[in-house]
Amino acid sequence: MAVNPDEDTEFNEALRKHGILPPRPPTPRTPSPPPAPTLEEKYANYTAAQLRELAAEAPDDETERILEILRRRKLQEAKKMEMARFGRVYPISREDYTREVTEASKVNEEGDEQQKGTGVVVFLYKDGIPASDRAAQLVNILAQRHPHTKFVSIVGDKCIPNLPDARLPMFIVYRKGEVLNQLVAWGADRERKVEELEAVLILAGAIIPQQRRPPGSERDSDDDSDSDIDDLDDDPSSRMRSAATSTNAKAPKNIRGKKEDSDSDFEFDL
């Protein structure tokens, strides 16, 4: 009689005990189900009006409290967006460089007690270069996404005379009047996504993302305009800048501005 070693029978079990048949393979473990999303994750894309309706119909006081916190946060974020100074890409000329870049990066945003200055991203490009054209699309997206960061654009050889096309597109990051980082020929090796450029600019210190406290840690307030939802970290820019060397961004080399009064005297030495 032929023995099927895969059958789960007493006879096969006896054969396994004596080592005639190999042990049965362990039963594969059922993967654990993913954790349920938090209320903050579940309602991240809801508007303030929708959150108000949900809070009014909440099944318990705790859910209502968290939904109300999220609603107030949405209102505060909307107010910050209205107060943002930028939100688009500003074309500049070489003569504008000192005023629109170096000096602009020294300006502290209203209410910025830490005086972090303004992140300024200079986008050097040339029409007709595929990597440059793709980068221009990403820059427009990020300028709208991060209106507290100033994005400016300038034709590469109009900014730096005789700049080789092979170095485009180029990004130069400023804050508080200083060059923090430089990216040369970004995206020339392969097509990149907007999230990649966003991550590099965060690490370089151009963009400081908004940090939030988890729901439940804020104090309630009866007045939406007076609610005070603080950031988790006081100034994440220092950590971002220290991490910038781990990206493909090149450190700034031989980039300087003359200190003469005229904007036209600004020059780069490459």
pLDDT digits (tens, 9 = 90+) for 146-157: 998 999 999 999
pLDDT-based confidence at 82, cuts 50/70/90? Answer: low
* Residue 100 confidence (pLDDT): 96
Type of residue found at 23: P
pLDDT-based confidence at 209, cuts 50/70/90? Answer: confident
Q: Is the pLDDT of residue 96 over 80?
A: yes
Report the distance separating Cα 192 and Cα 6, nearest Å. 51
215 or 98: which leads in pLDDT:
98
Domain locations in the chain? 39-82, 85-204
**If we measure between CA atoms, which residue out of 215, 213, 217, 255 comes closest to residue 230?**
213
* Residue 83 confidence (pLDDT): 61
Q: What topology is assigned to 85-204 in CATH? A: Glutaredoxin (3.40.30)
Mean pLDDT of 59-75: 89
**If we measure between CA atoms, which residue out of 112, 120, 100, 130 comes closest to residue 191?**
130
* Residue 93 confidence (pLDDT): 94
Question: What mean pLDDT is reported for the chain?
Answer: 77
* Residue 226 confidence (pLDDT): 39
Q: Is the pLDDT of residue 123 over 80?
A: yes
